[in-house]
Amino acid sequence: MDKIDFDTVVDRYGTYSTQWDYVQDRFGQADLLPFTISDMDFKAPSSVGTVLRTAAERGVFGYTRWNHADFKGAIQNWFLQRYAATIAQDWVVYSPSVIFSLAKLVDQFSRPGAKVVTLSPCYDAFIATIEANDRQLIQLDISAGFTLEALEAVFAREHPAVFVLCNPHNPLGIAWTHAQLQGMVTLCNAYHVAIISDEIHLDILRAGVQPHTLAAYFNRLTVPCAVLSSASKAFNIPALGCSYGLIPDERQRLEFLYTLKQRNALSSVPYLGMLATMTCYNHEAAWLDQLNAYLDANFTFMTQFLATRLNYAYTVPHATYLAWLDIRPLGVDMAALQAELVDHQQVAIMDGRVYGKGGANHLRFNLGAPRTKVVDGLNRLRRAVDQLTQEK
Ligand SMILES: Cc1ncc(COP(=O)(O)O)c(C=O)c1O
C-alpha cells in the first residue's frame, strides 16, 4: 500500500465542523486552534470517498437494510482479523450511534433510579446520557490508578445494576489487559452487574499493544452484556452516522431491536454510513496501521517536546489519540492557564473537569492531527505556561 499522507493540513472550516466551526460553543471564542472533541483532522481513507461518489452518481437513497451478511460479515471479519475474536453475525445490531445504544441499553438493563458505575474521569457523554436517563451515576475515580479491589468495593457498596466500561479508556488511554477484563467479568458475575463495553477507541493502539474486546469474554458472562462500537472513530467518519452493537443473548437482542424499530422507528440504516463502515472494515486495515504509526510518532514528538521545552515527564498512553496531561508539575493553575490559552494563545485544549471525577488539573489534548498542528498547539501551550510562570 502507498504511504498515506497524514501530514497535509486539511481545511475543515466551512464544513459545519463541531471542532472547528463551532469551537466558540465550548470555549466562548471563535477562531481558536482546536484540540477538543474526539474526531481527527485527517481525511477518511480514499476508498470511502470512492464508495460515496459511486453511490452519489447512482443517486439511489431509499430506505436501506442493515440486517444482511455484507454488513454483519464485515464486522465479524474485523473482530476476527483485528482482535482475534470469534463473534456470531447474529449478535450484530445496527444503531445510529454508540451513545444512542448506551442510552437504550442502560434503560433495558436497569430501572429508573438504579445505579450505573463507570470509571472516571470518563467520556462526558456517559455522564450526560446516564443521568438524563434517570439513572444514578457512580463514578469510580481511577485518576490515581485502577484496581479490581476498588471496583469490587464499589460493586459491594453501591449494588449497581450496570457497569459501563470504556475499552480502551477515554480520556486516560488505558488499554485494558486480559487479566483486568477477566477480573471485571468475574466481578460482574459475582455481583450481578450487567456490563456494557464501549469499544469505539479499540482500533487506536500504540505499537505492540494487544486489543482485548469484551466480546471474547461473552461466553463467561452470566449477566446481560453488550459491546458497542463503530468504524467512525478510527476512520474519522462520525458524520456518516452508523454504529453497531454486539448483543449475544437473543432475548436481550430482540428487546434492543424492538426499542430501535418499534419504540424509536429507526430501522433504516444511513446508506452512506453503512457503505463506509463496510469499506473501512473490508479494505482499510493497512490505512489504520499507518494511522496508528503516525499517531505513535505524534505521541513521541509530544513526549520529547514536553521534556525539552517544559521539563515535563510525560507517559504515553497505550490507546486513543488523546493525551491526558497533568498540569500540576507545570506549576500553573487551570483557570489562569485556560484564560491564557484562549485569550492570548488562541488555542482550545479541553479542561479535564469536563470528564467528571478525577479530571481536575488535567488537559485533554487531541493528537489526531497533522504534526504541524500538534507542534503549533504545543508551542502555544508552552508560551502560555512560560507567560504564567514568568508572571509569578
Ligand atoms: C468513548 C466514546 N464513546 C462514544 C463516542 C461517540 O460515539 P457516537 O458518536 O457513535 O455516539 C465517543 C466520541 O468521542 C467516545 O469517545
Same domain, 76 and 122: yes
Same domain, 279 and 140: yes
For the chain, how many structural domains are there in total?
2
The domain spanning residue 152 has which CATH number? 3.40.640.10
Same domain, 63 and 84: yes
pTM of the model: 0.98
**CA of 119 relative to ligand 1 center, distance in Å:** 15
Q: Is 18 a member of any domain?
A: no
Same domain, 136 and 62: yes
pLDDT digits (tens, 9 = 90+) for 251-260: 999 999 999 9
- Residue in 168, 171, 163 with CA at minimum distance from that of residue 121: 171
**CA of 229 relative to ligand 1 center, distance in Å:** 8
pLDDT digits (tens, 9 = 90+) for 1-60: 799 999 999 999 999 999 999 999 999 999 999 999 999 999 999 999 999 999 999 999
- Ligand 1 lined by 32 (C-beta under 6 Å): no
Q: Is 11 a member of any domain?
A: no
Where among 250, 283, 316 does a domain terminate? 283
Q: Is 108 a member of any domain?
A: yes
**Average pLDDT rounded to a whole number, residues 287-304:** 98
Same domain, 219 and 177: yes
Q: Residues near 311 by Cβ (< 8 Å), separated by ≥ 6?
A: none
Domain that holds residue 34: 23-45+285-391
Same domain, 289 and 333: yes
Same domain, 28 and 135: no
Same domain, 248 and 311: no
**Average pLDDT rounded to a whole number, residues 321-336:** 97
Same domain, 206 and 258: yes
Where among 252, 268, 283 does a domain terminate? 283
Which cell numbers in the block locate residue 76?
Answer: 465479524
- Ligand 1 lined by 200 (C-beta under 6 Å): yes
- Ligand 1 lined by 18 (C-beta under 6 Å): no
Strands 362-366 and 322-326, sheet pairing? antiparallel
Q: Is 9 a member of any domain?
A: no
Question: At 235, phi and psi to the nearest 5?
Answer: -105, 5
Task: Give Cα separations from 96 to 67, 101, 235, 367 (angstroms).
Answer: 14, 8, 16, 26
Same domain, 219 and 302: no
pLDDT digits (tens, 9 = 90+) for 149-181: 999 999 999 999 999 999 999 999 999 999 999
Where among 251, 283, 315 does a domain terminate? 283
- Ligand 1 lined by 38 (C-beta under 6 Å): yes
Q: Which of 37, 40, 106, 170 to mutate for ligand 1's pocket (most ligand atoms within 8 Å of CB)?
A: 170
Q: Which of 98, 118, 202, 321 to mutate for ligand 1's pocket (most ligand atoms within 8 Å of CB)?
A: 98
Same domain, 137 and 252: yes
